[in-house]
């Protein structure tokens, strides 16, 4: 069925699996990466995955700008500040929010999601949502270089493809 989204498949998909041939050359592109310091064991792995993937697709190290923010809630403002300072072609927002006993998780996830949408529309540039929203640390680690790959890889590929789309390549 067209348009059907299978959550079971999504839960078992390796975030690092993609067709190299379908990824545009990134050598003429620049990227910002904003990384949450909260849960840095996870977010640092996301960042490393994103940087490695960008480089693998031709992005020069000097065209990757990295900034850190205290937590995931601060990712949208960090993205805005980085866009205004460096004007990269796209920005990856990398964070990790783990479900706790209170509704704090819901508020943080909603704020970061809406902030990311707002930035895409405000700047007419890709701001990629690379935030893990998991039930526990084990799930987060599984998606930050573990059994399910690395969401940082996926965010980097998304950013390259969106920049290419925007440039009409």
Residue 147: partners with Cβ closer than 8 Å, 6 or more residues away: 14
Give CA–CA dist 169/166, Å, rounded.
Answer: 8
> Which of 156, 163, 116 has the alpha carbon at shortest distance from 33?
156
Q: Which of 57, 68, 104, 148 is catalytic?
A: 104
104 classed as catalytic? yes
Catalytic residue numbers? 104
């Amino acid at each position: 069925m067209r348009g059907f989204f299978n959550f079971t498949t999504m839960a078992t998909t390796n975030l690092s699996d993609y067709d190299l041939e379908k990824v545009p050359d990134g050598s003429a592109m620049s990227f910002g990466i904003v990384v949450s310091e909260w849960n840095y064991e996870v977010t640092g792995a996301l960042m490393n995955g994103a940087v490695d993937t960008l480089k693998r697709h031709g992005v020069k190290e000097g065209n990757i700008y990295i900034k850190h923010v205290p937590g995931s809630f601060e990712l949208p403002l960090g993205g805005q500040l980085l866009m205004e300072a460096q004007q990269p072609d796209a920005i990856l927002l990398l964070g990790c929010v783990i479900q706790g006993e209170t509704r704090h998780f819901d508020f943080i996830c909603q704020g970061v999601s809406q902030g990311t949408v707002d930035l895409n529309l405000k700047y007419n540039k890709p701001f990629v949502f690379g935030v893990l929203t998991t039930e526990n640390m084990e799930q987060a680690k599984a998606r930050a270089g573990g059994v399910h790959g690395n969401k940082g890889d996926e965010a980097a590929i998304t950013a390259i493809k969106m920049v290419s789309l925007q440039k009409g390549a």
